[in-house]
Every structure is written in structure tokens, then in C-alpha cells.
Amino acid sequence: MDWLTRFPQMDDARLRDLKKAIDDGFRAFTRAYGDTIEGLFEPLRIFLIQAERFMTQTPWIVVFLLITGICWLASRSWRITAGSAVTLLLIGYFGMWDDTMKTIAMIFVCTVISIALGIPLGVAMARWGRVRAAVNPVLDVMQTMPSFVYLIPVVMLLGIGRVPGLLAVVIYAMPPIIRLTDLGIRLVDRDMLEAADAFGSSSWQKLRKVQLPLALPTIMAGINQTIMMALAMVVIASMIGVQGLGQPVLRAISNQYFTLGMFNGFAIVGIAIIFDRVSQAFGRRLQKHSEVVHG
Amino acid sequence: MADPIGIEIRGLYKIFGADPAAVLPLAREGMSKTELNERFRAVLGLRDINLTMAPGRIQVIMGLSGSGKSTLIRHINRLIEPTAGEVLVGGEDVVKMSPEALRQFRRRQTAMVFQKFALLPNRTVMENAVYGLEVQGVPPAERVERALAWVERVGLKGYETRYPNQLSGGMQQRVGLARALTNDAPILLMDEAFSALDPLIRVDMQSVLLDLQKDIRKTVVFITHDLDEALRLGDNIAILRDGEIIQAGTSQDIVLRPADAYIENFVREVNRGRVIRADAAMEPVPAADLPADAIAGDASLEEAGRLMARRAVDRLVVTDPSGRPAGVLRMARVLAAMTDRGESQEA
Ligand SMILES: Nc1ncnc2c1ncn2[C@@H]1O[C@H](COP(=O)(O)OP(=O)(O)O)[C@@H](O)[C@H]1O
Ligand SMILES: [Mg+2]
């Protein structure tokens, strides 16, 4: 009656062999293809380094004006623009300018990748039920799997550095944009699609002229979520070599530098708020046409 | 502008459900809609529709909600696939077209106006109006130039840069109309296009359409559940019930000779004086003694009565389109036709 009191688990030797077999297999795979895969991600590394270089090596005043200008163009709100400017100036004044610029560069690259991959994938999910059935469980895993766990294979394959960190961030941050693109497109009114069909639109024209524009507010919400989640990954990503505001936080943890941790933490919060307010204001501006409703 | 083309529907069946082909023979044999639904979970959308729509005229299809009107009109541009039958437009069967041919057909030959407008909310009036041309690949400058005339024609001048949300329902449907007209297609499909509008605005839009039709001479298929609208607009009217056409004819046929009690019920409430034409109530030209006053054959009895009262006469000559006498209309006939309740056709 042993199995009643003790869970009838796989015997230890076999379990050990199983783990070892998987590990060995993966290690062999890494040895065989690691370099090739790293080569595949080379363009990504160059993109990220160029973005970082631009943000840190351009005179700060130019970058500052650029960011403030973008805030204004996107939000058309003096309050949001002024708030962003003050936040940036404070960050700089407290000596975190370079780290902040590196983080912004990383978020930017991560967002671009997420949009470039996530929107087509979301569109495919909305169009083909089979794609949705296949992708949804993967997204569930991506969103619930503790990020430390998938750092392991990423690091084994690509080592420590910018690219594996960036990948970890993208894996964590991309699901919302995929899901909300899918949702946004499926929520488009049937009548609109019928009208598009009646005028002889091809499926590509229907997508570009009707579905994507009408799903845009939902997609924008997805982009906003993606940015916020990427920011939440800054510290974890810095553990495997991503530069930016995460690294001082790590140092602060291991050395118990309370103030250093707080300052950098607030800098992350600061840019999160800037990104959030600006992208939301931008989304609202895109929806301007639906505000003035006829009585 | 392209010459008007006619539409001919032959033996059209539409059955909604899991296996329409299996149920089709039963529907052909005349099993009732209710029985088909209860025994086979199949919804009979249309049964054996045969209808010829004349080129350049307004064909109204009328029926109560759920009678299959939307289903029928959507077969003309094949937004719905038929279970059986043919839809011949200008001699070509729409049902047999390849996807690409169908797309070209929808771009060039038909344009549609929808009950709920179906305008793109993120586009201005002008951007909505050019949608069809955009899909056809017409260059931007030419699109706007071609749309502008129609936008102005339907009374939207000065509203080009507004968004649909900033317009009233009537104005929004003018945009829907402009979008359809800009396509320059010979066939105009209108599915309860004015049903969502307030009564006064609806009458307004009917006038806009009738006025336009004098110039554009399109083959218009107009769906409505409102008999007054049907009689006002339709050169020909087909009445649909439970997916079957129970009468097709001119407004005179429908009002003067309703096919059954169901239609009679509808017809009872109409203002007959405005619908019935003088030539529908006239008698043959007598050999001698022609009245001095004349009225056109397409004038309504109301107009004829008014003329009689003004001239203090009780007989009028009814003239045909070329102006020759076609018959004589007596006051007694006018009164009889106007007050008749369908029980008897004789005066
Ligand atoms: N996609 C569908 N699936 C099942 N039944 C349908 C579908 N579309 C329409 N019907 C049925 O077909 C009948 C006719 O509908 P419809 O053409 O919309 O009527 P109308 O436009 O005259 O109100 C109704 O009984 C409706 O329930
Ligand atoms: Mg309908």
C-alpha cells in the first residue's frame, strides 16, 4: 500500500536520465546551431546598438528636444508635453540620463519588433481559426511562464548580452499586441465588411482600408500594453546583460544601496508614465472623428 | 454612363442550414417553411423566385420583416450564395462567375446602399464617397473630381470634410447614396435604404431618388417594408412573403387587383387617390361627344378630381404619352376607384 501514502512518482534514476537526456540534447543543439542562430539575430543586435548609440551619443539637448517634440506631435497637449519635459530634466539632473536613454532605446526596439511581428500574427489569427487555435495556447504560456524560466534556454543559445535580453523582453511583452490585434479585427462590424465586399474590395483591400483602420484603437491599446510590459522587464533583462536603468537597480539590490535603487526605480516609472500618457493621447486623437456625435 | 441593363432571376432557392442540398428537393416539392424548420433545422430563405427586372426602371421588392427581402437583393451581387437557380445580369449568370470576375462585376456593374448606412466612421464624407473608385484603382485626383459632382448632387455640398458621426441620419444616407452613385454602375441596390429615417426625411430622400433617376436611368432594386414607399418609387413591385413572391406587377396591378387577402390587407390602408392613375380608371373613347378638358394618363385620380372640380366638369379626356386621347374618365369612376375597398372591381 505504498502508493497510497507516497505519490507513485517516476523512479529517481529514470527521472534523472530523462532530464539529462533533454539537457544533453539541447546542449548538443546549442553547440551545433548556436552560432547560426546568433548570426540570425545579428541584424537585431545592430539595430539595438545603433538605437543606443543614437540616444547616448547625440548631444543631450537634441535628444531632449526630439523626445519633447514627439510628445507634442503625438499628444497635442501642453500638459503632457510639459510633464514629459520636466520628468526628463529631473532624470538627467539626478545623473541617470545615459541609462535612461539606453532603456528608451531598448523599449523602442522591442516595440518595433513587437509591432512588426505581432500585428501580422494577430491578423492571421483573426482570419484563420486554425491559426488562432494554435497561437492562443502559446500566448498563454508566454504570458504565464515565469520569465526566469525562459531566460535559461535563451542564455544557453545566445549567451549573455543585449540580444538574449531583448528577446526575453519581446517574448514577455508581445502577447498583448497579438491578442488585441486579433480581437480588434474580429470586432469590426459585419455591416462594414459587407459594404466593402459589395464594392468589390479584395481581401487585402478590405484588410487595409476597413479592418485595420477600424481595429486601430484596439491595436493602439495593445501597443500601449506592450510598452508597459517591456518596461516591467527592464530589471530582469539587465540580469542577462541589457544595459540601462535595470543595471543600477541590480547593483542596488546586491549592495543594499537604497537611494540608488529608488532613484532608478522612479526613472523607470517616469518614462513609463510618459510613454503611457503620450500613446493614450495619440490613440484618442486618432479617434477624434467619433467624439462629435450627432444628437 | 453605361446603358441600363436588366436583371433576370430564375428558379432561385436559398436554404440556410447545415445541408441545404439535402433539403432542396423537399423545398421544391413545396414543404412549408415551418415544417422544413421543425423537421430539418433548415431555414427556407427563398423559394422558386422568378423575376424579371426591366433595365432603367425602379423595381421595388416589398414584404414584412423576415420575408427574405435582404436575402433576395444580396443574391444579385452574390453577397449570398444561392442553393439553386440563376441570376442573369445583362445576360451573364452571376452565380457562375469566378471570384475575380465577381469582384470586377461588383466594382463596375453594381453599387449598394445599406439600411444602416455602413459608412466608414474614420473617413470623411468625401473619403467615403470615393471608396468604390479607390477599390477600382482610380487615381486620387480623378476620384475626388468624379465624386464631387455626386456629393453635390445629393445635397452634401459644404459637408465634404465632415465625419459621418457629425451628420444626422438623413445626411448620412445621402453619403451612402453618393458613395453608390460615384461608382457609376448601371445597377443600384438599395436594401431598406430609407427605413431607418424619420418619416419626413424619408419622403425627402424618396424625392431625391426619383429626381436623380430621371437623369441617371439606372436599374434600381429597392427594398422596403412600407407600401406607401413602394407605390411612390416602384415602376414595378414584387411582394414577398415567407420567401416566395406572391404578386409582381405595377403599382396599379397591386392596388387594383391584389392577388390575395394578404396583399388586400396591405392595400386597404393606402391613399388610392394618389396611387391609381387616370388611365387605370378610364373607359374607352366614345365615338362622339369628347370632353373639352384633358389630363395625362399617368396623372393620379386625385389630380383628375381636382381638375374636374376646378373646371366644373364631370368628364375628362385621358391622353397617352404622345398626347392623343386614350380614354375618358368619368367623375363616378374616380369616386368609385378611390373609395373601393377591394371587394369589387366594378364601378
Ligand atoms: N445567415 C442566415 N442563417 C440562417 N437564417 C437566415 C440567415 N439570414 C437570413 N435568415 C433567415 O431568412 C429569412 C429571411 O431573412 P431576411 O432576408 O433578412 O428578411 P428581410 O430582409 O425581409 O427582413 C428569415 O427567416 C431569417 O431568419
Ligand atoms: Mg432586411
The pLDDT tens digits for B15-56 are 999 899 999 999 999 899 999 999 999 999 999 999 999 999
Residues B250 and B300 both lie in one domain: no
A41-294: which CATH architecture? Orthogonal Bundle (1.10)
Q: Is the pLDDT of residue A157 over 70?
A: yes
Q: Are B12 and B75 in contact (CB under 8 A)?
A: yes
User: How many CA atoms within 13 Å lie on the side-chain side of B260?
Assistant: 8
Nearest to B118 among A192, A213, A216 (CB): A192
Same domain, B193 and B98: yes
Residue to mutate (ligand 1; options B13, B23, B67, B192; most atoms within 8 A of CB): B67
Q: How far apart are CA A234 and CA A243, in angstroms?
A: 9
Is residue B241 in contact with ligand 1, taking CB distance under 6 Å?
Answer: no
Read off the pLDDT of each residue in A100-108 and give the average, rounded to a whole number: 94
Cα A22 to ligand 1 centre (Å): 57
Across A35-39, A131-135, A260-264, B329-333, least confident range? A35-39
Shared-domain flag, residues B301 and B314: yes
Asked whether the predicted pLDDT for residue A283 surpasses 90, the reply is no
Closest CA to A169 of A122, A214, A109: A109
Q: How far apart are CA A168 and CA B83, in angstroms?
A: 53
Q: What stretches of A187-290 show up as alpha helix (H) in DSSP?
A: 190-198, 203-206, 212-232, 234-239, 246-255, 258-286
pLDDT above 90 (res B340): no
Q: What are the beta bridge partners of residue B44? A: B15
Protein residue with least CA distance to atom 25, ligand 1: B66
Same domain, yes or no: B93 and B20: yes
Min Cα–Cα distance to chain B from A127, Å: 18
B80 and B190 belong to one structural domain: yes
Closest CA to A247 of A237, A259, A232: A237
- Interval B106-117: pLDDT, tens: 999 999 999 999
Q: At a CB cut-off of 8 Å and minimum separation 6, what does B340 contact?
A: B272, B347
Q: What is the ipTM of this complex?
A: 0.88
Residue B307: its pLDDT value, please? 93
Q: What would the mean pLDDT of A207-211 be, rounded to a whole number? A: 96
Question: Which segments within chain B are labelled E, that is strand?
Answer: 7-16, 43-53, 58-62, 84-89, 92-93, 110-113, 187-191, 219-224, 236-241, 244-249, 294-296, 315-319, 325-330
CATH of residue B40's domain is 3.40.50.300
B209 with B100, same domain: the answer is yes
Average pLDDT over residues B184-204: 94
pLDDT of residue B206: 96
Residue found under cell 518596461: A231
Distance between CA atoms of residues B74 and A190, nearest Å: 14
Indicate whether B262 and B306 sit together in one domain.
no
For residue B76, tell me if it sits in a domain.
yes
Which 3 state secondary structure label does DSSP give B280? Answer: helix
The answer as to whether B223 is a domain residue is: yes
Total Cβ atoms within 10 A of residue B203: 15
Residue type, B69: K
Does residue B105 belong to any structural domain of this protein? yes
Show Cβ contacts of residue B83 under 8 Å, excluding neighbours closer than 6 positions: B13, B14, B15, B20, B21, B24
By the 8 A CB rule, do A260 and A191 touch?
no
Residue whose entry in the numeric block shows the C-alpha cell 396599379: B252
Q: Greater confidence, B192 or B345?
A: B192
Burial of A72-96, coded b for 16+ CB within 10 Å and e otherwise, reads: bebbebeebbebbbebbeebbeeeb
Residue A293 has pLDDT above 60, yes or no: no
Kindly list the domain boundaries of chain A, sorted by start residue.
41-294
Lowest mean pLDDT among A100-114, A142-156, A258-272, B323-337: A142-156
pLDDT tens by residue, A216-231 = 999 999 999 999 999 9
Distance CA A44, CA B90 (A): 57
Is B16's C-beta closer than 6 angstroms to any atom of ligand 1? yes
Cβ(A185)–Cβ(A215) below 8 Å: yes
- pLDDT confidence band for A142 (50 / 70 / 90): confident
User: Where does residue B100 rank: exposed (0-12), middle (13-18), buried (19+ CB within 10 A)?
Assistant: exposed
**Inter-chain CB proximity B167 and A293 less than 8 Å:** no
| Integer Cα distance of B116 and B111 in angstroms | 15
Is A209 at the interface with chain B, CB within 8 A? yes
Q: Residue of the nearest CA to atom 4 in ligand 1?
A: B16
**What integer pLDDT is reported at residue B347 of this predicted model?**
39
pLDDT band at B2 (very low <50, low <70, confident <90, very high): low
Q: What is the 3-state secondary structure (H, E, C) of B63-77?
A: CCCCCCHHHHHHHHC
Q: Nearest CA to A287 among A240, A229, A219, A206? A: A219
- Report d(CA B346, CA B281) in Å as an integer: 10
End-to-end CA distance of chain A: 77
B330 and B193 co-located in one domain: no
What range does the domain containing B329 cover?
A: 272-339
Find the mean pLDDT for residues B341-345: 53
Q: Which of B267, B292, B318 is the endpoint of a domain?
A: B267
**Looking at the structure, do residues B263 and B328 belong to the same domain, yes or no?**
no
All residues at 6 or more sequence positions from A104 whose CB lies less than 8 Å from its CB, including other chains? A55, A67, A271
pLDDT at B342: 53
Please provide the average confidence, as pLDDT, over all residues in chain A: 91
Residues contacting residue A92 through CB under 8 Å, at least 6 positions apart: A60, A64, A100
Q: Supply the pLDDT for residue B345.
A: 47
pLDDT value of position B344: 46
Question: Does B290 score more than 90 pLDDT?
Answer: no
One domain for residues B63 and B199:
yes
Share of chain B above pLDDT 90, in %: 81
Q: What phi, psi does B2 have (nearest 5°)?
A: -65, 150
Cα–Cα distance, A170 to A109 (Å, whole number): 9
Residue A295 pLDDT: 46
The pLDDT tens digits for B60-84 are: 999 999 999 999 999 999 999 999 9
- C-alpha closest to that of A91 among A106, A107, A104: A104
Instruction: Give pLDDT, residue B222.
Output: 97
- In the numeric block, the cell 540570425 is attached to A40
Cα A259–Cα A260–Cα A263 angle in degrees, nearest 5: 80
Q: Are B304 and B313 in contact (CB under 8 A)?
A: no
Among A176, A180, A53, A158, which residue's Cα sits nearest to residue A111?
A: A176
Q: What is the pLDDT of residue B317?
A: 92
Enumerate residues 6+ apart whose C-beta is below 8 A from A31.
none
E strand or H helix that includes residue A62? helix A60-75
Residue A12 pLDDT: 87
pLDDT tens track for A161-208: 888 899 989 999 999 999 999 999 999 999 999 999 999 999 999 999
Quick one: what percent of chain A has pLDDT higher than 90? 72
Best of B69, B71, B75, B116 to mutate for ligand 1, by most ligand atoms within 8 A of CB? B71
Rounded alpha-carbon distances, angstroms, from residue A66 to A52, A57, A69, A97, A135: 15, 14, 5, 15, 38
B124 lines ligand 1 (CB under 6 A): no
Give the pLDDT confidence score for residue A9 in this predicted structure: 84
State whether the beta carbon of B70 lies less than 6 angstroms from ligand 1: yes
Q: Ligand 1 center to residue B132 CA distance, Å?
A: 27
Pairing of strands B7-16, B43-53: antiparallel
Instruction: Look up cell 423537399; give the residue.
Output: B26
Indicate whether B285 belongs to any domain. yes
pLDDT at A294: 52
CATH number at residue B284: 3.90.1280.20
B68: Cβ below 6 Å to ligand 1?
yes
What nine digits make up the cell of B218?
439606372
- Same structural domain, B208 and B315: no
- From chain B, the residues in CB contact with A211 under 8 A are none
**Residue B70 dihedral angles phi and psi, to the nearest 5°:** -65, -40
C-alpha–C-alpha distance, residues A227 and A282, integer Å: 14
Q: Are B170 and B198 in contact (CB under 8 A)?
A: yes
Same domain, yes or no: B102 and B200:
yes
Which residue reads 432542396 in cell numbers?
Answer: B24
The total number of structural domains in chain B stands at 2
Distance CA B69, CA B161 (A): 34
Q: Are strands B294-296 and B244-249 parallel, antiparallel or unpaired?
A: unpaired
Q: How much is the pLDDT for A291?
A: 62
